[in-house]
Amino acid sequence: MTAITADHLLTRVRELLAAHPPADTDRADFLRARFDAGLAWVHYPEGLGGLAAPRTLQALVDTELEAAGAPDNDPRRIGIGLGMAAPTILAYGTDEQKRRFLRPLWVGEEVWCQLFSEPGAGSDLAALGTRAVREAGSGDWIVDGQKVWTSSAHTARWAILIARTDPTLPKHQGITYFLCDMHAPGVDVRPLRQITGEAEFNEVFLTGVRIPDSHRLGAVGQGWEVARTTLMNERVSIGGMRIPREGGMIAPVAVAWRERPGLRTHALHQRLLELWVEAEVARLTGERLRQQLAAGQPGPEGSGMKLTFARLNQEISGLEVELLGEEGLLYEDWTMRRPELVDFTGRDAGYRYLRAKGNSIEGGTSEILLNIVAERVLGLPAEPRDDKDLAWKDLAR
């Protein structure tokens, strides 16, 4: 098989633009054509939006299409699908599942959410109690339980779901991974109001939800292994986002510092310099992590990046509020909104300060990620545990 080169990709881009001029082509039609041309995610296999090309060449394609005025797929709106569902489906899905789900996912026709955390199984996700029971005769799975902190559940068409299929096994076993139709009977999505006043998250109740066995991802009982693939990709997608120099949360603080010299003090200047340097180090580390991803699946390094992301966002937003003084306490948009995505930069400083508090919880709590880094990066001994070999049904709850 001939290796895909940069010149080959540029030729493909020109052919796509000639056949589907962005100015004259419906947005969704252009995105479907881009997927079919193998220019969606070039490192994916042919026929699934890619060309089995080196992942590093994706930036070349994106740059050329952006320069030509081509639409993107609004990646922030469909981030859970792109960053979590898609790589998991690619790794564990059947050929039929890949063909069915990857194209509408990438185009943005179907939004995804993640049904993992539960009221009694957040940091200790493997303790989850949502049950999936195989129905005799049909082979379908009947799911009952409750999930919580579910981003985008109110707009999602599909969900990645883990449920317990054998309570007689230890908690990390007996879990199976499913693709759940969020429009199926028995799915009830309810808003959770946050400290920001919004209801970006949801709790989801599952009552007798029927999932066909064809929507099972991986083998029965393989759910924890499949979920770890999702979680590693999630942490990379949260902590390893590509941002420009002096971008992200540090940007509005730097702007305020330059435009409002009356706010400056020596102590605040020192803190700003320290956080600016840390933000730049984190940005460059994220670039290196993405380069490592080009060679294979994400590892525990993504947990370290997500840890840094959470800490920096909270410290920077705290500095911004302090820098602005009384004005930093203003928050003009205290409404019960149901946003499709989070906008950190287009809101008040007070909003950024409040919303950043969630960064150390979402995508894995900082305490759990510290354990992962300690054990899998630094090689420190694991904390002693007495529940790993105990059947889930016998665990204290």
Q: Which positions are annotated as active-site residues?
A: 234
State whether residue 87 is helix, strand or coil: helix
Whole-number Å distance between alpha carbons of 183 and 202? 15
CB 113 within 8 A of CB 189: no
State whether residue 162 is helix, strand or coil: strand
The three-point CA angle 129-362-344 to 5° equals 150
Locus of tokens 């984190």? 282
Chain CA centroid to CA 181, Å: 19
Residue 153 Cα distances to 56, 150, 181, 189, 204, angstroms: 32, 6, 11, 7, 8
Instruction: Specify the amino acid at residue 208.
Output: G
Whole-number Å distance between alpha carbons of 351 and 346? 10
What radius of gyration do the chain's Cα atoms show? 22
Residue 385 Cα distances to 64, 276, 317, 390, angstroms: 52, 40, 37, 11
**Closest by CA position to 114, among listed 85, 155, 77, 73:** 85
| Residues in CB range of 119: below 8 A, 6 or more apart | 146, 148
Strand partners, 87: none
Whole-number Å distance between alpha carbons of 16 and 37? 7
Whole-number Å distance between alpha carbons of 162 and 218? 11
Q: Rounded to 5, what percent of the chain is helix, strand, coil? A: 45, 15, 40
The dihedral through the CA atoms of 288, 292, 297, 299 has a sign that is: negative
